[in-house]
Structure 1
Amino acid sequence: MAEVNRRTQRLMGALPFASLGVVAAVDVLTGPDLGYLSLLAVGPAFASLVGGVRRTVLIGVIALVTSLVLAWYNGLLGDRQSNMSLVSITGVTAASILATVGRQRRERELANVRSVAEVAQRVLLRPVPRRAGHLRAAVSYTSANAEARIGGDLYEVVTGPGGVRAIVGDVQGKGLEAVETAALVLGAFREAAHDETDLRGVSGRLEKALNRRLSGEEFVTAILVDADPAGKLTLLNYGHPPPLIIHADGTITLAEPADSAPPLGLAVLEVEGPNPHQVAFGPGDQILLYTDGVIEARDRAGRFYPLAERAFLLKDDDPEAALEALRLDLVHHVDAPLHDDAAMLLLRFRDG
C-alpha cells in the first residue's frame, strides 16, 4: 500500500511537466492557427496537487517561459493570442499558489489531529504482557485510514490471583466519545479482574460502570476470558464475534456460545447476560480474539476476509511474529485502507 501511495505521488508530481511538454509538442506540430498557447495554464493548475509553494511558482515560471518561446517561434510575440496566454498562465499560477497554501495548512492540521489521536490511543491501549501466567500473549491493532477517526476497539490482559483474564471489545461509534467509553470499560475491567472471583462478577462491574455513562442506544460488544492453568477457558460473550481456538494438532474450532446475549450497556432491555461458556485449552493451544473490523474487511471484489481459513498463519513459535503474519495477510487481502479498526489478541498456552 505504501508503494502504491509513493507511485501515485510521483505520478501527480510529474503531471504538470508532462502536460506542459504535451501542449508544447502539439503547438509546434500543428502551428499557431489552432491557438494552443493558453492550454499551458494546465501545468500550473496541476502543480497544486503535490509539493509546496516554491514548486508551484517554479512550474508557473516554466509555463510562462514556454509560452514566450512558443510565441516567438510562431511569430506571435506581442499579439492578442500570446498576451492572453500569459494572462491565463499568471492567473492560474496565482490560484494554484493559494490552493497550495490551503492544502498545506489542512495537511498540517490533519497531521496534528492524527498525532493527538494516536497518542490518546497508545495511552488507552497499553502493550499487553508477553507472558501472563501460563499464557503467552500478543496483540495487533490496525487503525482504519479514515483521517483522525480513532475508534473504540479495546483489549487487555490481566494476571490475577486465580489465573489470567482478558477482554476484547468494540465500542459503538467512533471519535472521542468512543475512546472515552473504551477507557471506562478498560478501567473497570483492570480493577474488577483482580477483585472478582468469577467472570460474572467482572461483567457485572462493567455493566454498572457503563450504565452510569451510556444512554439507551449506546453499547459495547465484548468477550471476556478466564484462563485456568488446569486447562480450561471460561468465556462470556456479549454480542461479540466468537473467538477462534487453534488446537495443538492444527484443528480449528469456533468458540461460539449456545445462547446469544446483547452487548454490554443495554441494561434498559432487562435481559440476562450470557451463561459462561467453557472450552478445553491445553498446552500448544491458541485462542484468537478479534473485533469485527477483521472479519468484515473486504477485498476489492467485496469478499470478506476468511479468518478461519487463514488461521494456519498462526504457526510461528513466536506469538508476535505469528500475529504479524496474520495482520499482513489481512492488509494484503483488503489492498486498500481499512474501513474499520481491526484489533486481534492471541493467547497461547505455554508448554513450559
Structure 2
Amino acid sequence: MVGGDLYDVCETPFGVRAIIGDVRGKGLDAVQAVAAVLGGFRVSAHEWKDLPLLADRLELSIDRNVTRRSVGDPELFVTALVLELEQDTVRIMDRGHPPPIAVGPHGARILATAPALPLGLKELSPVPGLTTLHRLPPGEVLVLYTDGISEARNCDGDFYPVLERLTEHFRGTRRTDPETVVAFLETDTRNWSATPEGDDQAVLAMALM
C-alpha cells in the first residue's frame, strides 16, 4: 500500500517555507491527497504572506482536487505543519501534526504550537488557526517528523520517545547538523521498532545559516 507522508521546502519572498504532513489512510486516495497538498503548497507558498491563509489555500486545493468517496468523509484529512524560517526565527502553523523539536548541544526541546484541525476538516470549525513564533539560536537543528516515528513500538508496546532519545543522544554534542540528526532517527527508530515494516516515516531537519 502506498502511504501518505509528504514534505517540501521552498525559498519564497517571505523566507524559506516548509511543509510536512501525513494523509489519513493509504492507497490511491492518499496519493491524490498528497498531490493536491504539495501542488497547492508549491504555488501558494510564494503568493500568500499569512500562514493561516496559506493553510486555507491548501484546504481549497484538497476540496478541488481530491475525489471524496462520500461527502464529509471523516477518513479524508491531512495533518500538517507549515513553517516559515527567516533570520533566527521560525513561524509555525499547526494543523493537527506532531510539534517540531529543536535539537542542539543542550539536548532537545519541543516548540509549542497552537494546534488547529487537520487540513480537509475546515467545515467542522471555520475559526482560522494561529501561528506561533520561536527563536532558533545558532547550533540548533529544527526537526519535523510524521507519526510513523513517534508511534513506532518496541517489543513491550512502548511508543518511541522522540524527545528523550534526541536529548540523550545529542546533549553535550559540540555540533549538530541536519544530516546527523536524520541519520540518528532513521537508525534508532529501526532498532527500537518491533515491526520494521510498520507505518510510513518521514523526517525533515533544517538549520538556519
Q: TM-score, normalised by structure 1?
A: 0.54
Q: Which residue of 1 aligns with 2:23?
A: 171
- Aligned partners of 1:202, 1:278: CA distance in 2, in Å? 16
Q: Which residue of 2 aligns with 1:277?
A: 132
Matched, 1:200 2:46: no
Candidates 154, 158, 174, aligned match of 2:6: 154
8 Å Cα contact 2:2/2:31 also seen in 1:
yes
For residue 202 of structure 2, give the secondary structure of its aligned residue in structure 1. strand
Q: Which residue of 1 aligns with 2:142?
A: 287
Candidates 234, 245, 256, aligned match of 2:112: 256
- Aligned partners of 1:209, 1:168: CA distance in 2, in Å? 16
Larger radius of gyration: 1
For residue 305 of structure 1, give the secondary structure of its aligned residue in structure 2. coil
- Aligned partners of 2:119, 2:15: CA distance in 1, in Å? 23
Matched pairs, number: 199
CA deviations on 1:296-318 (whole Å, 9 max, x unpaired) are 00011111111111114465654
CA deviations on 1:234-277 (whole Å, 9 max, x unpaired) are 10000111111224x424221232x4311011122133132011
Q: Which amino acid aligns with 1:163?
A: G
Structure 2 stretches lacking a partner, 5+ long? none
Per the TM alignment, residue 282 of structure 1 is displaced from its structure 2 partner at its CA by 2.7
Q: Which residue of 1 aligns with 2:191?
A: 332
8 Å Cα contact 1:211/1:267 also seen in 2:
no
**Structure having the larger proportion of residues in strand:** 2
8 Å Cα contact 2:95/2:117 also seen in 1:
yes
Q: Which residue of 1 aligns with 2:35?
A: 183
Q: Which residue of 1 aligns with 2:154?
A: 299
Per the TM alignment, residue 335 of structure 1 is displaced from its structure 2 partner at its CA by 4.2
Structure 1 stretches lacking a partner, 5+ long? 1-148
Q: Which residue of 1 aligns with 2:81?
A: 223
Candidates 83, 94, 100, aligned match of 1:237: 94
8 Å Cα contact 2:141/2:177 also seen in 1:
no
Provide closer, same or farther for how the CA distance between residues 349 and 241 of structure 1 changes in structure 2, counting only shifts above 3 A: same
8 Å Cα contact 1:235/1:278 also seen in 2:
yes
Provide closer, same or farther for how the CA distance between residues 267 and 335 of structure 1 changes in structure 2, counting only shifts above 3 A: closer
**Structure having the larger proportion of residues in helix:** 1
Q: TM-score, normalised by structure 2?
A: 0.88
8 Å Cα contact 2:139/2:176 also seen in 1:
no
Q: Which amino acid aligns with 1:256?
A: A
- Aligned partners of 1:265, 1:335: CA distance in 2, in Å? 32
**Larger RCO, structures 1/2 (Cα 8 Å, 6+ apart):** 2
